Structure 1
Amino acid sequence: MGGSDPRFAHLHGGVASGVPEGRAAGPVARSLGGSRTPDPAACCAGPRPGLELTPSRTRSQNLRAAEYPPAGSQVPDAIPAVFFLRVLLEDTGEMFRVTNCRRDMTVRELKEELDLLLGIPFNLQRLQYLDQGILMDDTTLKFHDVVPGGVLSLCVWHYDGWTELVVAAVEGDPAKLCGLGVVEGSFFRTANSQHFDEGQWRRWMAQRAFVALYISSHRGHVEAVQYLLEKGANCLGKSPLGRTPLHVAAAMGQLDCITLLLSFGASTSIKDAKGETPLAVARRLNRKQSERRMFLFSWKSKTGGKDPAQLLTGPEFQKAKSGLGLKQRMGT
């Protein structure tokens, strides 16, 4: 169906900046692999998407209006099979570069990529291009005459206070999150939630806590992640695409957040709707440090906390190794 349900009924189990691994988010544009992005005007395809921050929302809007040609100005035969687009997150002023786009790519497929790239859950996204209104999920980029290098606008659904929550999570300020209905005992209410009974309100609050954790983990806001986890946010919760906060933290190489999530019980084996675990996502996006950290944590959990290096030099391993060597020499 076109457009996402603003009521977010697909969130399951409660309650998401492209930067180098182990570093805080900064204003320098980098790819998901950690390398600097090319000139924004260059039309090139890369193996991974990336993030580009602009100094102000006004500059982003001016760039969108002046730097790129209007729809239909390029000859269809001249459009490459694979190209890049730029997505402006209107509510924060951030500009993201999305590679490996195709003319036959559906809006839903693009939003699935943005879920991982922007850290904004799929069901909260509202995409627009020029003045064509909301892009329907089952339409294609070709249908909307989206051209290479074009700028799409992404807004968060304003229904039920979700925009304010997303902006606070992007900023990573625990004090702001505290007052937006993510912790038990919060007095935050919306026109819709004020009519909830106790059970409905708790589920609604858990959804908001999960979204805040998802975005904060993606952006590498360690203090916000710790605050949310300590207040009961569900690190095993899933987005509508089946992704957990660990999926997006691994995708962006947020090592400190990965460690925190794992220490609170996050799983490296949960698969998303595409069958990818956090480990698989890190491997696909060449996040080697993320992959290694999750692997070591999983190894220690299975071996009772023993370090892999100690196991390789321990007496049990050496004994087994010597026994295997003896059998090989005897030809057995």
Structure 2
Amino acid sequence: MGRAEGGSRVRAGAPLEGAPDPNPAVGRLGRRGACSAGLGPLLAPPPAPASSIRASSPALALDQAPDVFAVRVLLEETGEMFQAASCRGDMTVRELKEELELLVGVPLDLQRLRYLDQGDQRSLKGQACGTGRKAGVLMDETTLKFHDVVPGGIISLCVWQYDGWTELVLAAVEGDPSKLSCLGVDEGSLYRTANSKHFEGERWKEWIAQRAFVALYITSHRGHPDAMQYLLEHGANCLRRTLLGRTALHAAAAMGRLDSINLLLSYGASVNDKDTRGETPMSIARRMNRRHGERRMFLFYWMTKSGTTDPKKLMANKAFHRAKSGFGSKKKSQI
């Protein structure tokens, strides 16, 4: 498993749509899910739950809340808890999903969010996200303030269950190549869903390619080099992008996964690819304080630029030393 750096905005704590239920062979991550994903425990006690905030301060409204605040995000299928630290009342659900694509590692188009206070969560314990409960489902164009999301509140993230995506996400989070091999990530797979059994030719190939990429994106984010190696050897494209223009290298950079970064670079991943926000993997690593990952990509960029594979020869490059002197500066333009 790859190594994540400290100082993250993403922290996992103790763990607490219609396709058939996930394959029992894949299994679910229980209370040990957060640790097995390699995200580590929360470094500080979690904020008070939304219900206790409301109870202690009935008059508290988002108008009185800090301009920037943190909420917790529960990935329902695995029980992992993450922290989104830069939320605002006027932030749209779409904007939050864009950030969660990096924080949680689930592509935006597979996310379904809902907001429930502590009492609602207890009443729904054990129920799937696909129940269609009207209260709590967050629509992309609405704001956090519209849904009365308060600092420290818990937002539940569910994976869309149609077409076997939940099974795939669970296997990728776990990082087991043998499970991924049974879930339609290469063209020779016998795996079929109610939808995909009608696909043929190019449509079938595209469906497989998308599944392989999603699995690669998640395994890169979680730091599972063995699963990544399997996917890359069986045709997963490390240059493919999410709807937000992010590659698997963006995901690895967001978490500072050095093993993932090295493997993706060896397969031709680009440190220069920009997402729809204009961020490269390197600038994302810088923003999320993943210094070791940023340095690794910086060195790779200059070795490629100078046409050498020998770091010692790179040290003689004057342009490299000029760039290195300004490395990490906020005033320095993005590479």
Partner residue, 1:185: 188
What code does the residue aligned with 2:212 have? Answer: A
Cα deviation, residue 146, structure 1: 0.8
Could you list the per-position Cα deviations for residues 56-77 of structure 1 after superposition, in whole angstroms to 9, with x for gaps in the alignment? 55799xxx9x943179645225
Secondary structure, aligned partner of 2:82: strand
Distance (Å, rounded) in 2 between the aligned partners of 1:186 and 1:215: 20
Distance (Å, rounded) in 2 between the aligned partners of 1:70 and 1:58: 23
Could you list the per-position Cα deviations for residues 154-186 of structure 1 after superposition, in whole angstroms to 9, with x for gaps in the alignment? 000000000000010000000000000001210
Q: What TM-score, normalized to structure 2?
A: 0.75
Partner residue, 1:214: 217
Partner residue, 1:75: 60
Could you list the per-position Cα deviations for residues 38-61 of structure 1 after superposition, in whole angstroms to 9, with x for gaps in the alignment? xxxxxxxxxx5212132555799x
Distance (Å, rounded) in 2 between the aligned partners of 1:133 and 1:313: 59
2:285 counterpart of 1:286: no
Q: Alpha carbons of 1:58 and 1:173: their partners in 2 closer, same or farther (altered >3 Å)?
A: closer
Partner residue, 2:137: 134
Q: Is the 8 A contact 1:170 1:219 kept in 2?
A: yes
Distance (Å, rounded) in 1 between the aligned partners of 2:177 and 2:168: 11
Q: Alpha carbons of 1:50 and 1:109: their partners in 2 closer, same or farther (altered >3 Å)?
A: same
Q: What TM-score, normalized to structure 1?
A: 0.76
Partner residue, 2:310: 307
Partner residue, 1:121: 107
Q: Is the 8 A contact 1:91 1:155 kept in 2?
A: yes
Could you list the per-position Cα deviations for residues 116-172 of structure 1 after superposition, in whole angstroms to 9, with x for gaps in the alignment? 101100000000011624210000011011111000110000000000000100000
Cα deviation, residue 296, structure 1: 1.6
Which ranges of structure 2 fall in alignment gaps of 5 or more residues?
A: 17-29, 34-45, 117-132, 321-335
Q: Alpha carbons of 1:214 and 1:171: their partners in 2 closer, same or farther (altered >3 Å)?
A: same
Tell me whether 241-250 or 126-135 shows the greater mean CA deviation: 126-135
2:164 aligned residue (161, 176, 185): 161
1:90-109, aligned counterparts within 5 Å? 90-109=76-95
Cα deviation, residue 304, structure 1: 2.6
Could you list the per-position Cα deviations for residues 227-277 of structure 1 after superposition, in whole angstroms to 9, with x for gaps in the alignment? 101111000000010000001101111011111101101011110000011
2:13 counterpart of 1:53: yes
Q: Is the 8 A contact 2:14 2:31 kept in 1?
A: no
Q: Supply the RMSD in Å over aligned alpha carbons.
A: 2.6
Cα deviation, residue 81, structure 1: 1.5
Secondary structure, aligned partner of 1:52: coil
Distance (Å, rounded) in 1 between the aligned partners of 2:88 and 2:314: 48
Distance (Å, rounded) in 2 between the aligned partners of 1:145 and 1:269: 39
Distance (Å, rounded) in 2 between the aligned partners of 1:220 and 1:98: 20
Q: Is the 8 A contact 1:299 1:308 kept in 2?
A: no
Secondary structure, aligned partner of 2:83: strand
Distance (Å, rounded) in 2 between the aligned partners of 1:176 and 1:58: 20
Aligned length in residues: 272
Cα deviation, residue 308, structure 1: 4.1
Secondary structure, aligned partner of 1:135: coil
What code does the residue aligned with 1:68 have? Answer: A
Q: Is the 8 A contact 1:106 1:138 kept in 2?
A: yes
Q: Alpha carbons of 1:311 and 1:265: their partners in 2 closer, same or farther (altered >3 Å)?
A: closer
Larger radius of gyration: 1
What code does the residue aligned with 1:297 have? Answer: F
Partner residue, 1:265: 268
Distance (Å, rounded) in 1 between the aligned partners of 2:182 and 2:229: 16
Which ranges of structure 1 fall in alignment gaps of 5 or more residues?
A: 1-18, 25-32, 36-47, 318-332
